Amino acid sequence: MHDLTLNPRIVEIRQNVLKKNDLLARELRKRFQNVGVYVVNLVSSPGAGKTTLLTEVLTRLGKRYRTAALVGDLATENDADRLRQSGAKVRQITTGTVCHLEAEMIERTLQDWELETFDFLFIENVGNLVCPASYDLGENQRVVLFSVTEGEDKPVKYPTIVNSADTAIITKIDLAEAVDFQRKRFYEALNEVRPGIRIHEVSARTGEGIDEWISQLEADKSAFIHSSGSL
């Protein structure tokens, strides 16, 4: 593109197309940091088990922390109703036809919330492994979920979202044997796309791996508070 400057009618702009979203996400992140709430953005295909896992995590985490969740879907309040069973404060975001959550939706939904009354906020994105990748929601951590039934090469099929994630969670691990889940192949696929990504294996049904993930989240939160303090 260097030859562009030879044309006098060409003006350099150099701005991110999603600048508005990025700026808003940055503001949100600052707000979250100021009040000390740790924010996790969950992304996966439809049916990977985000809501089931999150209900379980909120229930366990809720015994020691103040928890909240936002959940995005094209339509219905069903997921919010399910998540509420955990006792957490939950609000549904219905996007209509939009296939992902954007920072502006988060800001609007949180407007009348007193964020300082929470320790953890989970954002369950719309079930989609493509579009949510491009939109920063101001989260501290992006978690991508895959269920054992989805096929071991799925991370390679959706490199953008995997590459943008901090943690990968393998759900429905209790079914691994039944579906002949090839653990090694799956780990290899993840590492092709995002070398060094943290991996947890969980089952919301049997409870396997959930406390381990919660311990990790607690550690992440305290590391985050520690780093905020030094700012």
Contact call for residue 175 and other proteins (CB under 8 A): no
Cβ of residue 12: shortest distance to other proteins, in angstroms? 5
Which listed residue (164, 187, 199, 220) binds other proteins by CB under 8 A?
164
Q: Do 185 and 152 form a contact (C-beta atoms < 8 A)?
A: yes
Please tell me the distance from the alpha carbon of residue 227 to that of residue 49, in angstroms, as a whole number: 32
Task: Find the binding residues for other proteins in span 82-121 (CB under 8 A).
Answer: 98-100, 102
Q: Minimal CA–CA distance to 60: which of 166, 215, 198, 225? A: 215
Contact criterion met (CB below 8 Å) for 194 and 165: yes
- Beta partners for 67? 120
Say whether residue 133 binds other proteins (CB under 8 A): yes
User: 3-state class of 129 per DSSP?
Assistant: coil
Q: How many residues bind other proteins (CB under 8 A)?
A: 38
| 156 lies in the site for other proteins, by CB under 8 A | yes
Identity of the residue, 13 or 231, whose beta carbon is nearer to other proteins in the bound complex: 13
Q: How far is the CB of 142 from other proteins (least distance, A)?
A: 13
Are the C-beta atoms of residues 55 and 110 closer than 8 Å to each other? Answer: no
Query: Least CB distance from residue 107 to other proteins, whole Å?
Result: 16
Helix (H) or strand (E) holding 187: helix 183-193
CB of 11 to other proteins, least distance (A): 5
Residues that bind other proteins in the complex, under the rule CB under 8 A: 1, 4, 7-21, 98-100, 102, 130-131, 133-134, 156, 159-161, 163-164, 191-197
